[in-house]
Amino acid sequence: MEVLNIATAGSVDDGKSTLIGRLLFDTNSITDDKLEAIMAASKKKGLGYVDLSLLTDGLIAEREQGITIDVAHIYFSTPQRKFIIADTPGHFEYTRNMVTGASNANVSLILIDARKGVVEQTFRHFYISCLLRIPQVMICINKMDLVGYSQQHFEDIKSQFLAFAEKVKFEGQQIEFVPISSLLGENIVEKSSSMPWYKGSALLQMLEKITLHESLSEEVSRFPVQYVIRPKSEAFHDYRAYAGKVVSGVFRKGEKVVVLPGRQETTISKIEKFGREMEAAQASESVNIILEDDVDLSRGDMIVPVHQLPQQTRQMNATICWMSHEPMASGGIFLLQHGVNVSRARVTGIHNLIDVISLESEPVVNQLKLNEIADVTLKTAKEIFYDSYAENRANAAFILIDEHTNSTVAVGLLR
Amino acid sequence: MVENSSLFPRELEDEAIYIFREVAAQFEKPVLLFSGGKDSITLVRLAIKAFYPAKIPFPLLHIDTGHNFDETIRFRDELVEKFDLELIVRYVQDSIDQKKAVEETGKYASRNVLQTVTLLDAIEEFKFDACIGGARRDEEKARAKERIFSVRNDFGQWDAKKQRPELFDMLNGRISLGENVRVFPISNWTELDVWNYIKEDELAIPSIYYAHERDTFVRDGQILPYSSFVNVTDNEVVEKRQVRFRTVGDMTCTAAVESSANQIDHIIQEILLATVSERGARIDDKRSEAAMEKRKQSGYF
């Protein structure tokens, strides 16, 4: 069974929590006790209907303010698929959470309030979806019931959105539009009779049918060493395996490989999973790789096929999103974590601070503030083995860690 | 019959193994919090797989409330023996005797909350820097927002607003002295995923998960196991019922469901049809709507 990861985003009050509540409710994913609890809470608030947004607005502060403030993970399944929703807030100051929620997504689901049309936040969400190269974007135009189910209204919003999207989208990215009413459950699980002009499918059917075409196994093969397994027991006296996750591509038994940074050539003698030998390991599988020769290899090093070498350098260009309240100054020193490889790094320059609404950029800046996105140049103490984000997103992402607070302060994508 | 189409998604196992290996690589003194329940049994299985053929490079820690199902303790000791695991046990009773925790009184008296005191003491005693737990995000709304690596300050507390962003699969386990990280490798699993995994990997679980006859009484619409640890009031009648448990915790606050499911396929069928969520069988969460978040803030699992 496949897992589809969905990132949801929207502005305050556009009905995102209600939409998620509706997906859970209509797929029978809400149990009686949870439903009873939110029915009682709706009554307490003096509402005449069951407020499905109460299902996801989990934290005390959120219930007090009636807003969503952090990334929440929600699970439901149909006979076709298991769905994981990373629900991210629509507040400007929480953009960093949106990036967090979207980083593992196959699909980005963006809500637009039909009465308000496209707002700044819509552009921001779409920009981030493109930055993170999310292959599929679903635009749900919500509250259609409040605009008389007007097709003209729907089409106007669609063209307004596309005018912006054309400038930002990347090749191969799919964008779909669905007119919905999450409060009334229209075009969510079942098609609505109120909008006969809409010829597409209901949202859930579209989510069930999306092909996970960004097939990681078709990319170049990358295996970062996560941990070295040496039992030193009598039964496994000389056993030495490199444990890790295939980040992208496929590795096969008998394949000729190179280990980085040393660039020694060797051959994969065995691939194992819990003692079971395998012919091949696909992307995202956690396995043990055993090499034919004794090579010098430890955590953070990488095994790659002989003819598919990644970039191997200490100087690189990246686009980053700054996620800390303390601004970042040019020249700052951080820990750069690329996958499981960690190195000290200096930000040697900040360029092209991007205004994600107007798409204009400032060529030279001295500092980067919370939620700002810009290009940077970096110099690392150790070599990093990476691919450009456009080619293989799985081996291009990194985070920056503040050495004093230990916080994750930025996410970046190498170019 | 409801079709159990949701065979276990193997990518969840790969993800959990990846998380276990990150723990071993990033921390000095990790520990696996073991309760004897199905989620911690699943964790042990995943840990064995993550490091095989080497041994699990950290011990198990059981915080014993003293209000145990005998079957759980027996199961725990057999598991430790069979897989040659290292087990540490710390007792809530000791915390009470040392006057660090105060026994609750009255009808709803439970030691569930007191576990936190004993846990924080054990973390300090052994200087554990990572505590691996079996919490899942589908269990409860506050857990839905918790990270896989969840940093606790030197008082063991969780601050929901100061969580580190977790991006792609990169886990940042850096902490200052005195802080620790709670790690949740099966964050993305649902109750059904756990059961399908137990089935497909043929894992042994304590017998109380299967239907059996037991002395029980009904309180607030829920069936509770009768034991010497609970205070039964005059109008609560103790009766034999055919029941099983969906979670295994402190005997005073773990409710049973009436069931005749005596094999795993029947349990999975029941879960597919179930209309009461798993934590609905935990009385401690019902104390208030924000009960879990408040307990987490004070250092609970």
Does residue A359 share a domain with residue A287? no
Domain of A114?
Answer: 3-214
CA distance A56 to chain B (A): 7
Cβ of B169 within 8 Å of Cβ of A245? The answer is: yes
Establish if A56 touches chain B: CB-CB under 8 angstroms. yes
pLDDT mean across residues, chain B: 87
Does residue A326 share a domain with residue A247? no
> Which has more pLDDT, A74 or A61?
A74
Cβ–Cβ < 8 Å for A412, A373: no
CATH of the domain at A253: 2.40.30.10
List chain B residues with CB under 8 Å of A323. Answer: 165
Write out the two tokens for B53: 């053929």
Establish if A28 touches chain B: CB-CB under 8 angstroms. no
Does residue A115 share a domain with residue A261? no
pLDDT band at A62 (very low <50, low <70, confident <90, very high): low
- Out of A265, A289, A305, pick the residue that ends a domain: A305
Cβ of B52 within 8 Å of Cβ of A274? The answer is: yes
CA distance B98 to chain A (A): 34
Residue B2 has pLDDT above 50, yes or no: no
Does residue A316 share a domain with residue A296? no
Establish if A71 touches chain B: CB-CB under 8 angstroms. yes
Q: Which helix (H) or strand (E) holds A22?
A: helix A16-26
Q: What is the DSSP secondary-structure string of chain B?
A: ---------HHHHHHHHHHHHHHHHH-SSEEEE--SSHHHHHHHHHHHHHHTTSPPSS-EEEEE-S---HHHHHHHHHHHHHTT--EEEEEHHHHHHTTSS----STT--STTTHHHHHHHHHHHHT-SEEE----TTS-TTGGG--SEEEE-TT----GGGPPP-BTTB------TT-EEEE-TTTT--HHHHHHHHHHTT----GGGS-EEEEEEEETTEEEE--TTS---TTPPPEEEEEEESS---TTSB-EEE----SHHHHHHHHHH--S-GGGGBGGGGG-TTHHHHHHHTT--
CA distance A102 to chain B (A): 8
Q: Which of B25, B137, B145 sits opposite A227 (nearest CB)?
A: B25
pLDDT of residue A353: 94
- ipTM given for this complex: 0.91
Q: Which residue of A has its CA nearest to B275?
A: A31
CATH of the domain at A167: 3.40.50.300
Does residue A270 share a domain with residue A247? yes
**Alpha helix stretches (DSSP H) within A55-138:** 60-65, 95-102, 120-131
Which of A71-75, A259-263, A331-335 comes out lowest in average pLDDT? Answer: A71-75
Cβ–Cβ < 8 Å for B55, B82: no
Cβ of B276 within 8 Å of Cβ of A32? The answer is: yes
List chain A residues with CB under 8 Å of B18. Answer: 226, 245, 286
For A381, A403, B112, B221, the CA distances from A343, given in Å and listed in that order, are: 6, 11, 43, 57
Query: Rounded distance, CA B285 to CA B300, Å?
Result: 13
Query: Rounded distance, CA B205 to CA A279, Å?
Result: 32
pLDDT mean across residues, chain A: 89
- Out of A277, A305, A333, pick the residue that ends a domain: A305
Does residue A233 share a domain with residue A111? no
Three-state DSSP state, A304: strand
pLDDT per residue as tens digits for the range B48-87: 999 999 999 999 999 999 988 899 999 999 999 999 999 9
Q: According to CATH, where is 3.40.50.620 located in chain B?
A: 10-195+289-297
pLDDT per residue as tens digits for the range B138-182: 887 777 778 899 998 877 777 766 788 889 999 999 998 889 999
Buried b (16+ CB within 10 A) or exposed e, A338-368: bbbbbbebbbebbeebbebeeeeeeeebeeb
pLDDT band at B1 (very low <50, low <70, confident <90, very high): very low
pLDDT per residue as tens digits for the range A262-293: 999 999 999 999 999 999 999 999 999 999 99
Q: Which residue of B has its CA nearest to A79?
A: B5
Cβ of B141 within 8 Å of Cβ of A56? The answer is: yes
Does residue A184 share a domain with residue A260? no
| Bridge partners of residue A252, in order along the sequence | A280
Neighbours of B175 (CB within 10 A): 19
Cβ of B53 within 8 Å of Cβ of A32? The answer is: no
Does residue A166 share a domain with residue A68? yes
CATH class of B10-195+289-297: alpha beta
Does residue A226 share a domain with residue A210? no
Residue found under tokens 């609505």: A192
pLDDT of residue B4: 45
pLDDT band at A194 (very low <50, low <70, confident <90, very high): very high
* Interstrand relation of B130-132 and B60-64 (parallel, antiparallel or unpaired): unpaired
List chain A residues with CB under 8 Å of B170. Answer: 337, 339-340, 397-399
Does residue A8 share a domain with residue A139? yes
- Out of A260, A277, A305, pick the residue that ends a domain: A305
Q: Which of A33, A60, A233 sits opposite B276 (nearest CB)?
A: A33
What's the pTM value of the predicted model, to 2 decimals? 0.91
CA distance A271 to chain B (A): 13
For A10, A11, A54, B128, the CA distances from A68, given in Å and listed in that order, are: 10, 10, 10, 33
Query: Rounded distance, CA A400 to CA A384, Å?
Result: 14
List chain B residues with CB under 8 Å of A235. Answer: 53
Cβ of A408 within 8 Å of Cβ of B275? The answer is: no
List chain A residues with CB under 8 Å of B5. Answer: 1, 79-80
CA distance A147 to chain B (A): 33
Does residue A236 share a domain with residue A368? no
Q: Which residue of B has its CA nearest to A132?
A: B168
pLDDT per residue as tens digits for the range B248-294: 878 888 889 899 999 999 998 888 777 666 656 655 555 555 566 66
